[in-house]
Structure 1
Amino acid sequence: MRILSFCLLLLLISCKTTYRRADISSISQKEKAKVYDFGRRLLETCKTRQFIQLSEREVSKSLATLSLAEMQNACDAIGKTNGKFIDMKLIEVIDDTYTSNSKVYRYKGNFERNDVVREIRIWLGTDGKFQGIIWKEWQDEYTPYKK
């Protein structure tokens, strides 16, 4: 799907592995705010249709090359099923620094229509840059995204 290829720019390992959950309280408020603000900012652009070009200072090179058309397509798809974005709540953080040098932030999204509960998954690299973002149907058990 084009949405998933748009959203995910980080390839997680495909073999079955136990993923270590980070204690949310052990993560700095500054880092949590940074990730939340990034996700919220991108999803808010779906409402305003004023898409921003991502800077390589903030995101990995592959995420910085994301086209405005790809962003528009992803926003249209989420808007069709869930309506406008309202907010998101951090549920867990997966520490995947051993295999992919990133932490995976899993949020539950709140939209106008929540018939399908959405996960908003954001990858933050150990270098402080965002490596990817996807939204998909929520699953209670974490499974890495596979292309």
Structure 2
Amino acid sequence: MKKVIILCCLLALMGCKTKQVHSKSTEKSVPAAEITKEEVPQEKKAYELGKRILMTCNNSKFTPFTRSEATDKVIANSTIENINKICAKYNLKYGLFKDLEFVEKIHIKDNNSNVYRFKALFEYEKANKELRVTMDADNKASAISTKDWKDEFE
């Protein structure tokens, strides 16, 4: 009976072992200080598009994205109604939006796009949000999202 219990415990420990999963589709992230001159225009465009959305929370005025700035998916999802819903939550929880602080760029090899991570600065100190702007190979925003801030890219 003891052998069966020990065997079950060993099997349970082996089954619960966690694995480190490393994605081969991303390159090493590039911190803000290491952005090359060729990458600066795309980073500035990502900053401006992200800031345009979050500034809507302060002044309720949103200029829709054009087809030269964003993909059809982003244009369809960035309606004033959707943005106002998000802004209502953020204004109550974090206060007024101040600015974006560029943190890093991650290159995605699969689709040749870049993810720009910005730390969103709000009025209240407890605000700890991240804005991610994904720019595709055509220099258009293909995704814009907010998440809780984590130091590591996930």
CA distance in 1, matches of 2:149, 2:130: 5
Q: Which residue of 1 aligns with 2:60?
A: 49
Query: Does residue 87 of structure 1 match 2:127?
Result: no
Give the structure 2 partner of residue 130 of structure 1.
141
Cα distance change on mapping 1:74 and 1:101 into 2, 3 Å: farther
Structure 2: 5+ residue stretches without partners: 1-20
Aligned residue in 2 for 1:100 = 111
Q: Distance in 1 between matches of 2:121 and 2:151?
A: 16
Structure 1 gap segments, 5+ residues each: 1-14
| Per-residue Cα deviation, 1:113-143 (whole angstroms, up to 9, x for no partner) | 1313111111111111001111121011110
Aligned positions, number = 128
CA-atom RMSD in angstroms: 1.8
Instruction: Return the structure number with greater relative CO, CA threshold 8 A, min gap 6.
Output: 1
Task: Indicate yes or no: 2:76 matched with 1:68.
Answer: no
Native 8 Å contact 2:120 2:130 kept in 1: yes
Query: Between Structure 1 and Structure 2, whose CA radius of gyration is higher?
Result: 2
CA deviation map 1:36-71 (0-9, x unaligned): 111111111111101222212210011111222111
Q: List aligned pairs for 1:21-60, cutoff 5 A.
A: 21-22=29-30, 24-26=34-36, 27-60=38-71
TM-score w.r.t. the length of structure 2 is: 0.75
User: In structure 1, the residue corresponding to 2:110 is in which secondary structure?
Assistant: helix
